[in-house]
Amino acid sequence: MNVVRLLNKFSKKFLWIIGLIVGVTFLLNYIRSLVPLLIGQVFSILENKESNLPDYLLFFFNNKEGISAIITVAVSILCVCLVREIVNVFSDFIIGYAGESIGYVIQNGFYEHVQDLPYSYLNRVETGDLIQRSTNDINRVKQFYGEVLPEMINNILKIIIYSTQIFMIVKDDLAIGFAIMGFIPIIIVLALVFFKGMVKYFDAFETNEGKVSTVVQENLTGIRVVKAFANEELEIRKERSIMNRFGIAWKNMMNRLTGYWPTGDFLGYTMLLVAFTMGALSIKNNILTLSTVVSLIFYVEYLMWPTRMLGRELSNLGRTNIAAKRILEICEMPSEYDICNGDLKEPIKGGIEFKNVGFKFDDANFPLLKNVSFKIEPGQTVSIIGKTGCGKSTLVSLINRLVEPTEGKILIDGIESTRFEKKYLRSKIGLVLQEPFLFTKTIADNIGIAQGSKDLDVIKDVSDIASVRNDIERFEEGYDTLVGERGVTLSGGQKQRISIARAIVDEKPILIFDDSLSAVDTETDIHIRNALKSRKLKSTTILITHRISTAKDSDLIIVLEDGKISNIGKHDQLIKQPGLYKEIWDIQSSIEREGE
Amino acid sequence: MNEEYDDIDLKSKLDAKLWKRILKYLLPYKKYLFLGIAGVLMQAFLETKIIEFISQQGIEKYIESGFNGTTFSLFVAGLFGLIVLDAIVSRCFFWACSRLEWFLYSDMTNEVYDHLQGLSYSFFDKYSVGWLMARTTSDTSKVGELISWGFSDLIWCICKLIFIFITMLKYSVKLSLVMAIAVPTLVIISYFFRKIIVKYFWRVRKLGSQVTSSLNEGISGAKTSKVLVIEDKNSKEFDQLTTKYKNVSLRRVIFTTLYYQSIAFLSACGIAAMCYFGGVSVIKGTIEVSVLFLFISYSTNFFEPVLGVARTTNDMKHAQVSASRICNLLDVKTEIPDSKEVIEKYGTYVNPKKENWEELKGNVRFENVSFKYTTGSGRYILENFNLNVEEGKTIAIVGETGAGKSTIVNLLCRFYEPTSGTIYIDGKDYKERSVNWLHSNLGYVMQTPHLFSGTIKENIRYGNMNATDEEIIAAAKAANADDFINKLENGYNTEVGEGGNRLSQGQKQLISFARAIVANPRIIVLDEATSSIDTKTEALIQKAISNILKGRTSFVIAHRLSTIVNADTILVIQQGKITEEGTHKELMKLKGYYYKLYTNQFIDEKMSEMGIK
């Protein structure tokens, strides 16, 4: 069972808590089962017949009869029920605590684990699928541990305890016990079969409900198109036809459900009638007493509901199991910090050397990078230029160990990069990704996110360097402006510059811009690079770019073609040699000349 | 999304007008309404009777006063009959209720949906799709559910209380009064706890949606988190949120169980009281043993309906909130209505009078047009804008984001109307014709193409519902889409998926071009995409665009050099005003904004062609 495996994975202590829940629920239901006996006791007092009470309760009735015995019954009911209520509060608390804690642990574990998954996996995976798992599947599992499982335990114990009590009191006429017990499997199996069969109707209902909301949603998001083509009438017809289909699915489902509910009631009442009829006959034959039949009738009433629910819960187990499996699939993938993480935390100056580095994705047939070698001194600026898909982004993500080389070595300040602790290494390298992602926080919090401190002066300073300060200060709420769905919509350029500010908020020995400067215009690009140069710490800077104006001032230019370095050197050298760099230079300089 | 109810909303008073309006939706379904109410009444009655027969009559007649075989069989058979009848009655009642729920839900959804189609574009700018979806789908289904089931539940509870009480009075006034004391006590407890529990309910809901969105953000931002090394920080923040959620949930659990247990104890007090008072009465000989049993049975059945009343009145409050949100939406009027005279001549969008429609030639003139949003800062987005465009000419509009480019085309499309000034189409103020007339002669291609679920053919036909298959293929050819469509397994019958997500961005664009071409509009508005597309598709798109613009009055919010350079007039818009106007050559000579834009763009496009960007 995946549901058990999932629980085991996150914490073994929960198995104990579930044991405790079983124990407390047992106790609770035993106490509950005393009430019908006490009610029966009233009748055995009035009729002067034998009592069904257990000995420890019967003790209180020694030598009492008439009104004083009745008072004892009333007081006993109050006391037993008070205990029952106290135990119930206690058991609800444990169940709530266990449910919430299990949900909490699974949710947090899932969240943390996703963060720790390898970069290459996160690059490949469909975010939609992960989000689906994180919301629907986790909620289903949480609901299972918090509500469904305790309810199932409760219902099973109720059935066991009440049935046992029934057999104890009708021990002189066991036929009654068997007749009533016969209903229980029938009702459970009926519910089980019914709800299993309902799956396809529930699914049809959900699919069609989804279709209705898709149609409405598509209409509302595309309302401009609808209006521009004057197709309002068509849209209405479309909605009607899908609504009619939903109506059919609705009716199919409801017709069955409305047939089932009364059947459950019917079986319950029939069970009651059987108890009464057989009880009356048994009293006539002087086997059972009125007191016993009264208790019996109450037990039967108590049994009606749990029996019906149990079948329904059992039929839902399959879906929960699938949800648990989908969560486990993610959580059982190894974390990248468990695979050959280094432990070195030496200060880094910024020297980088690639020695015959090759890289191939697990599922690829050909290597993406082949035999790449170069050396960068601390403080140098290096540009990488090359066509889309030539391996530029992979090359830079090798430096901070987001991916690991399959061949060769990478040295940071002469030390093999795999010896560094991954998080430490990354904290010393500012990498600005091509696609900026901002968090649902204020702008100030987004910029200061990696640093922890929220020194506004620092934030203003780096916003200045990233050329986004004016933009931010033009917002009504300035640095406190909320970013994201509920906040302002930023332009692509603004997002990119904020993500640059975020990467440079504390001075880092190595900075890498993965084509992120080219999203801003040429002048801003120059401004940002100059501002970075004037900082106290001269960081080693790697720029992936397509602009010669950016590349030409670099200490080293690496031209990458098909995963290999096709040319390397300074601007003045490269423009003298035929090749990609020269081609680009020719085009770009000609345009600039045309303008002059 | 504004999906949450606030506490404030729920405190609102009973709104009789609103309820009258909602109940009107039930009027056409009198048959179901009657069946539902009759069914629920019968059910409450039968349930009360079955308990009375078993507990009182059965014990009285066949256990206390001697056993009679023949009448006993009849009695049992009669009871069984009642049980069967009860099952039949509940079936009718459930069935009627489920139908009423459906009618309420579908009628309301349809009405809201239809109403939305008639609203002007400015409305959709103000409210997010999520906000509207919440009203169109979730609120309507909530009203449907709460009114049909909640209402019948309320009737059931009240009837059952009355029936039980009447039956009790018949047997013993004294015991009935003892039992009746429980009602006010129950109401007080209920009132006290409900307030707290409802408060926690909403807090848990709110925190729950925060947890979900935080989880989603953690997933979407996982790569960035890794690069910034903030995984631990994220996890800590998430932990804080989930801890808070856990604690609030747990507090809710405690209050809920305290509530239920105090009710359970009150019920136990009822049973104990019945045992005592009833037992004493039996000893004194004022009532029979069977009556005592009946009262004990009822005392366990008495509390559920009282609690039910508390629960359903709460449900009704929720229904009222949802209903008022629906009604508020239905009360919104379109901001761009056609005048009475216009409607008389041109008809409405549901019922257009196409026979009176003039042909549109495509001369467009903006005269002193200014525009600002009715809400917001009150700053003019566009001021004293003048422009004269002759039939068949292409206008390229360039400028920075937020400069007012889209405002110009939104005004032209009459998604908005000028705050002051006039827009003439073929020399006549466009307000003198119907919105539908204009839109039927207009083609609009969005920056991010929006396709509808369905096949490619259906999506192209969206431009002109009367188009033949040949016309569709011709349009696809003109849009350069025919090639890729034919390569798909199902060709023109390929399903594009929700929002067209089974196609690439470039493919979606080509289809949206074909859709505009098949409409054969006189005026075309094109908002070019900024995001770069692979070189091959880019070449296809450029050719397709020139095909679309040919022979039509065109307004292009342009990003591609080829489009800009070939335009008859280029407008540079900065802060709501035309700062540069002319042909490509003229503007290059100015060496101003356009010149800079051109050189940057040229480098970018060349580099994309080489595959470097």
Q: Specify whether the CB–CB gap between A482 and A522 falls below 8 A.
A: no
pLDDT at A85: 95
Q: How far apart are CA A450 and CA A505, in angstroms?
A: 8
pLDDT at B7: 44
- Over residues A338-393, the pLDDT tens digits come to 888 888 898 999 999 999 999 988 877 888 899 999 999 999 999 999 887 788 88
How close, in Å, is residue B548 to chain A by CA atoms? 16
**What number of CA atoms fall less than 13 Å from residue B399's CA on the CB side?**
23
Phi, psi for residue A8 in degrees, rounded to 5: -60, -35
Residue range A103-126: mean pLDDT, rounded: 87
pLDDT band at B613 (very low <50, low <70, confident <90, very high): low
Q: How far apart are CA A328 and CA A320, in angstroms?
A: 12
Pairing of strands A352-359, A369-376: antiparallel
CA angle A104, A105, A107 (to 5 degrees): 65
Nearest CA in chain A to B209: A135
- Over residues A541-563, the pLDDT tens digits come to 999 988 888 888 899 999 998 88
Whether residue B265 lies within 8 A of chain A, CB to CB, comes out as: yes
Residue window 185-204, chain A: list those with CB within 8 Å of chain B. none
Structure tokens at A91: 């058991």
Asked if pLDDT for residue B6 goes beyond 60, the answer is no
Q: Closest partner residue to B137 among A104, A213, A385, by Cβ?
A: A213
**Maximum separation of any 2 CA atoms in chain A, in Å:** 120
pLDDT at B531: 58
**Tell me, what DSSP letter sits at residue A477?**
T
- Over residues B124-169, the pLDDT tens digits come to 877 888 888 888 888 999 999 988 998 889 999 999 999 999 999 9
- Over residues B344-379, the pLDDT tens digits come to 888 877 777 888 888 888 899 999 999 887 766 667
Q: From the centroid of its chain, how far is CA A384?
A: 38
pTM for this model (two decimals): 0.81
Q: How far apart are CA B434 and CA B438, in angstroms?
A: 7
B25 versus B502: the higher-pLDDT residue is B25
Asked if pLDDT for residue B3 goes beyond 70, the answer is no
Q: How far apart are CA A325 and CA A319, in angstroms?
A: 10
User: Where do runs of H (alpha helix) occur along A335-379?
Assistant: none
What average pLDDT is seen over chain B?
86
- Over residues A263-314, the pLDDT tens digits come to 888 998 999 999 999 998 898 888 999 999 999 999 998 888 888 788 778 8
Structure tokens at B183: 């009602």
> Which neighbouring-strand residues pair with B428?
B425
At B371, which helix (H) or strand (E)? strand B364-371
Q: How far apart are CA B406 and CA A353, in angstroms?
A: 50
Amino acid, single-letter form, for residue B118? G
Q: How far apart are CA A542 and CA A90, in angstroms?
A: 62
Whether residue A227 lies within 8 A of chain B, CB to CB, comes out as: yes
Amino acid, single-letter form, for residue B239? D
pLDDT at B54: 87
Number of Cβ atoms within 10 Å of the Cβ of B35: 18
How close, in Å, is residue A92 to chain B by CA atoms? 7
Residues of chain B with Cβ-Cβ distance to A261 below 8 Å are 90, 94
Residue window 32-51, chain B: list those with CB within 8 Å of chain A. 50
Q: Specify whether the CB–CB gap between B590 and B580 falls below 8 A.
A: yes
Q: How far apart are CA B398 and CA B573, in angstroms?
A: 6
Q: From the centroid of its chain, how far is CA B574?
A: 38
pLDDT at A143: 86
pLDDT at A32: 93
A445 versus B534: the higher-pLDDT residue is A445
> Which of left, alpha, beta for A563 (phi over 0: left; psi -120 to 50: alpha)?
left
Residue window 451-510, chain A: list those with CB within 8 Å of chain B. 452, 491, 499, 502-503
Whether residue B121 lies within 8 A of chain A, CB to CB, comes out as: yes
Residues of chain A with Cβ-Cβ distance to B144 below 8 Å are none
B230 and A518 within 8 Å at the Cβ level: the answer is: no
B83 versus B531: the higher-pLDDT residue is B83
pLDDT band at B34 (very low <50, low <70, confident <90, very high): very high
Q: Closest partner residue to B137 among A47, A216, A272, by Cβ?
A: A216
Asked if pLDDT for residue B5 goes beyond 80, the answer is no
Amino acid, single-letter form, for residue A374? F
Collapsing DSSP states into helix, strand and coil, what is residue B367?
strand
**Among B391, B170, B146, B181, residue whose Cα is nearest residue B288:** B170
- Over residues B95-104, the pLDDT tens digits come to 999 999 999 9
Collapsing DSSP states into helix, strand and coil, what is residue A209?
helix
* DSSP state string for A63-109: T--THHHHHHHHHHHHHHHHHHHHHHHHHHHHHHHHHHHHHHHHHHH
User: In the CATH scheme, what is the code of domain B104-330?
Assistant: 1.20.1560.10
B300 and A301 within 8 Å at the Cβ level: the answer is: yes
Phi, psi for residue A569 in degrees, rounded to 5: 155, -165
What distances in angstroms separate CA A580 from CA A548, A556, B601, one per listed residue?
A: 12, 16, 21
Residue range B186-193: mean pLDDT, rounded: 86
> Which neighbouring-strand residues pair with B371?
B382
Structure tokens at A595: 């303008």
pLDDT band at A131 (very low <50, low <70, confident <90, very high): confident
B296 and A39 within 8 Å at the Cβ level: the answer is: yes
**Among B264, B195, B258, residue whose Cα is nearest residue A93:** B258
Q: Specify whether the CB–CB gap between B476 and B485 falls below 8 A.
A: yes
pLDDT at A359: 93
Nearest CA in chain A to B591: A595
Collapsing DSSP states into helix, strand and coil, what is residue A431?
strand
A513 versus B400: the higher-pLDDT residue is A513
3-state DSSP of A257-290: HHHHHHHHHHHHHHHHHHHHHHHHHHHHCCCCCH
Residue range B288-302: mean pLDDT, rounded: 88
A266 and B83 within 8 Å at the Cβ level: the answer is: yes
Collapsing DSSP states into helix, strand and coil, what is residue B471?
helix
- Over residues B511-563, the pLDDT tens digits come to 999 999 998 889 998 887 765 566 677 778 888 888 888 889 999 888 777 88
The domain ranges of chain B are: 104-330, 446-520
A273 and B76 within 8 Å at the Cβ level: the answer is: yes
Q: How far apart are CA A184 and CA A160, in angstroms?
A: 11
Whether residue A521 lies within 8 A of chain B, CB to CB, comes out as: yes
pLDDT at B257: 93
Number of Cβ atoms within 10 Å of the Cβ of B368: 12
Please, what CATH class does the domain formed by B446-520 belong to?
Answer: alpha beta
Collapsing DSSP states into helix, strand and coil, what is residue B294?
helix
What distances in angstroms separate CA B291 from CA A448, A540, B68, B180, B288, one per listed residue?
A: 76, 94, 20, 17, 5
Amino acid, single-letter form, for residue A438? L
At A358, which helix (H) or strand (E)? strand A352-359
Residue range B245-273: mean pLDDT, rounded: 92
Report the percent of chain A where pLDDT is more than 90: 40
Number of Cβ atoms within 10 Å of the Cβ of A233: 17
Amino acid, single-letter form, for residue A39? I
Residue range A13-19: mean pLDDT, rounded: 86
pLDDT at B4: 44
Number of Cβ atoms within 10 Å of the Cβ of A520: 21
Range among A404-413, A479-488, B562-571 with highest mean pLDDT value? A404-413
pLDDT at A230: 83
pLDDT band at B416 (very low <50, low <70, confident <90, very high): confident
Contact residues for A117 (Cβ-Cβ < 8 A; gap 6+): A330, A333, A335, A336, B222
Q: Tell me, yes or no, if the two domains B104-330 and B446-520 fold the same way.
A: no
B257 and A88 within 8 Å at the Cβ level: the answer is: yes
At A376, which helix (H) or strand (E)? strand A369-376
Whether residue B226 lies within 8 A of chain A, CB to CB, comes out as: yes
Residue range B400-404: mean pLDDT, rounded: 73
Residue window 395-414, chain B: list those with CB within 8 Å of chain A. 401, 413
Q: Closest partner residue to B216 among A74, A131, A521, by Cβ?
A: A131
**Among A341, A401, A478, A594, residue whose Cα is nearest residue B606:** A594
Q: Closest partner residue to B272 among A74, A97, A301, by Cβ?
A: A74
How close, in Å, is residue B186 to chain A by CA atoms? 16
Whether residue B83 lies within 8 A of chain A, CB to CB, comes out as: yes
Whether residue A97 lies within 8 A of chain B, CB to CB, comes out as: yes
**Tell me, what DSSP letter sits at residue B574?**
E
Asked if pLDDT for residue B108 goes beyond 50, the answer is yes
pLDDT at B12: 60
Torsion, Cα of A445, A446, A452, A454 (10° steps): -40
B257 and A258 within 8 Å at the Cβ level: the answer is: no
Contact residues for A195 (Cβ-Cβ < 8 A; gap 6+): A311, A312, A315, A316
Q: How far apart are CA A301 and CA A317, in angstroms?
A: 26
